[in-house]
Amino acid sequence: MAATSLNAPNAPLLQKTHQTHVFLKPISTIPCQTSAKRFSISCSATTQDRLSVQSQSQDRVFNFAAGPATLPENVLLKAQSELYNWHGSGMSVMEMSHRGKDFRSIIEKAEADLRSLLNIPENYAVLFLQGGATTQFAAVPLNLCAPGDSVDYLVTGSWGDKAFKEAKKYCNPKVIWSGKSENYVRVPSFDGLELNPNAKYLHICANETIYGVEFKDYPVPCNPNGVLVADMSSNFCSKPVDVTKFGLIYAGAQKNVGPSGVCIVIVRKDLLGNAQEITPVMLDYKIHADNNSLYNTPPCYGIYMCGLVFEDLLKQGGLEEVEKKNHKKAGILYNAIDESKGFYRCPVEKSVRSMMNVPFTLEKSELEAEFLKEAEKEKMVQLKGHRSVGGMRASIYNAMPLAGVEKLVAFMKDFQAKHA
C-alpha cells in the first residue's frame, strides 16, 4: 500500500465543486507511474461530507424543470451512497421485499415524518400509491361519490380542467368557475362562487404548474357534508397546510418530494369504504388504507426517496422554515420581472402568483430562443415554458437552491442590459 500511496501526486483529486461536494475525476484520465491498475485518492473533506464517485467530473446544472424536478443534493448523495447496500442489509432498497422488516421500517418512517411535517391528524390516512396525480383524477370521484352525485370543480389551470374531464366518467361534475377565457391568470373571489349545496366535494388544484397560479387561501364547500379536495402535486410540502380544511389531498411526488411514480394521498378516514363497484382494486383507497399501502407491491424505491426528502425537510426546521426560503426565492425572481420595466412579464395576478412555478415572457418574444440558449450555456436548464403557454417558466421547488435563483436573476439582468 505504501508504494501505491507514493503515486498520490499523479492520482485523481477529489474536487470541491461550487455546490459543496466532492467529485472524482474520470478514472480514464488518471496518469499513473507504475501500473494502470493501481491508483490512490487523496482529498480533504469533513467526515460530514459525502463522497461521490462519479464517472463524470462535470458540475451539476441548475434544473428549472417543472417535474420531474431537481432533488436536494444531499438526498441524492445519500441515496447514491446507500444504493448498493442499504444500512448493511446486503441489498439495495430496490431489491427488498416490501413485506420485509427493512422496507417496512422505511415506509413507516416516511409516513411518520410526513405526518410530523404536515401535522396530519390521526383521523386521516396517509397512502403511498402507484402512479401520479392523473390516476387520482379518476380515483377521487370513484371513491368519494356514487355515479349520479354532483361535485364542483374550480378550474384555475390545465390540471384542474383535466381532473374535471376525467370525473365526468364517474359522476356529475360541474365547473363552477374557470379562468380559461382569461388564460388562467387568477383565482376568483370565493364570495361570488356559485357552489352546489349538494356537491359531494369541491375540487381545486392548489398550484397550477403550467400557468403558475397558486391558492393562498382555500374555499369552503357550501354543502356541510361536502369536503374540499385538492391536487397539491406541485406545491406539496412547500409550506405549512392545515390538513383539517380538506377531506382529501393528493400529490404526485415528482415536483417537491421525490421521483415520479409515487402519489401520496391524505384522506379523512370516514370518507373511505364507499368506492363504486367499478373501481379498480388499485384505485380503492380503503384497500390501501387497510393494508398500510402494502396491499401489494408499492413503488418501493420512490417511497424510500420521498422518505429521504421528508427527513431533509424536517432537518431544515420543518415547513415553516421551508416556506421562508421559498418565499425569498420567489420574491427575488418576481421582483426582477416586475422591475424590468416590461422587458420581462408575468401575467399572473400578484396575489396568487405561485411560489413554485414562475412563468414569464419577454416583451421581445423573438429573443426567447436566445435567452434559453444563453441560459443553458450558463448551466441553467429547462427554462422553456410549457408548450401550451410558451415563453419561459422557472420552477423553483424546495430543492432549488437560493444560489440557483440568484444566478438566474443575475443572468436575466445581464440579458436585459444587452438587449434593452
**Selected range binding a second copy among 2-10, 324-332, 338-346, 361-369, rule: CB under 8 A:** 2-10
* Shorter beta-carbon distance to a second copy: residue 174 or 379: 379
Given candidates 113, 161, 166, 312, which one binds a second copy under the rule CB under 8 A? Answer: 166
**Number of Cβ atoms within 10 Å of the Cβ of 171:** 21
Q: Which of 200, 239, 255, 286 is catalytic?
A: 255
Residues 6+ apart with CB under 8 A from 407: 62, 378, 380
Q: Which of residues 382-401 bind a second copy (CB under 8 A)?
A: 382
- Classify residue 4 by burial, with Cβ atoms within 10 Å: 0-12, 13-18, 19+: middle
Residues 6+ apart with CB under 8 A from 20: 49, 73
Residue 115's identity, in one-letter code, is R
170 binds a second copy (CB under 8 A): yes
Residue 209: CB minimum distance to a second copy, A: 11
**Number of Cβ atoms within 10 Å of the Cβ of 25:** 16
Per DSSP, 85 falls in state S
Give the C-alpha separation, 88 to 15, whole Å.
Answer: 28
- Are the beta carbons of 416 and 343 closer than 8 angstroms? yes
**Selected range binding a second copy among 44-52, 176-184, 186-194, 220-228, rule: CB under 8 A:** 44-52
* Shorter beta-carbon distance to a second copy: residue 54 or 150: 54
63 binds a second copy (CB under 8 A): yes
SS3 366: helix
Tell me whether residue 414 is one of the annotated catalytic residues.
Answer: no
Element (H, E) at 394: strand 392-395
180 binds a second copy (CB under 8 A): no
Q: Which of residues 202-261 bind a second copy (CB under 8 A)?
A: 252, 254, 258-261
- Count Cβ neighbours within 10 Å for each residue of 244-260 and write b for 16 or more, e otherwise: eebbbbbbbbbbbbbbb
Given candidates 16, 25, 65, 294, which one binds a second copy under the rule CB under 8 A? Answer: 65
Residues 6+ apart with CB under 8 A from 275: 142, 143, 283, 284, 285, 286
Q: Which of 113, 152, 161, 231 is catalytic?
A: 231
Q: x/- contact string, 264-293, with a second copy (CB under 8 A)?
A: -------------xxxxxxx----------
Q: List residues bridging with 203 in a β-sheet.
A: 153, 229
Cis peptide before 68 (omega within 30 of 0): yes
Distances (CA, A) of 59 to 15, 19, 64, 220, 334: 10, 8, 16, 47, 27
Tell me whether residue 159 is one of the annotated catalytic residues.
Answer: yes
* Shorter beta-carbon distance to a second copy: residue 45 or 402: 45
**Selected range binding a second copy among 114-122, 182-190, 376-384, 410-418, rule: CB under 8 A:** 376-384
Measured between its terminal Cα atoms, the distance across the chain in Å is 62
* Shorter beta-carbon distance to a second copy: residue 196 or 254: 254
Q: Which of residues 85-104 bind a second copy (CB under 8 A)?
A: 85, 87-92, 94-98, 100
Q: Which of residues 300-339 bind a second copy (CB under 8 A)?
A: 300-302, 305
Tell me whether residue 255 is one of the annotated catalytic residues.
Answer: yes
Per DSSP, 379 falls in state T
Residue 334: CB minimum distance to a second copy, A: 23
121 binds a second copy (CB under 8 A): no
**383: its cell numbers:** 427554462
**Selected range binding a second copy among 64-72, 113-121, 183-191, 338-346, rule: CB under 8 A:** 64-72
Given candidates 18, 31, 53, 321, which one binds a second copy under the rule CB under 8 A? Answer: 53
Residue 204: CB minimum distance to a second copy, A: 19
Given candidates 379, 406, 407, 413, which one binds a second copy under the rule CB under 8 A? Answer: 379
Which residues carry out catalysis?
159, 231, 255
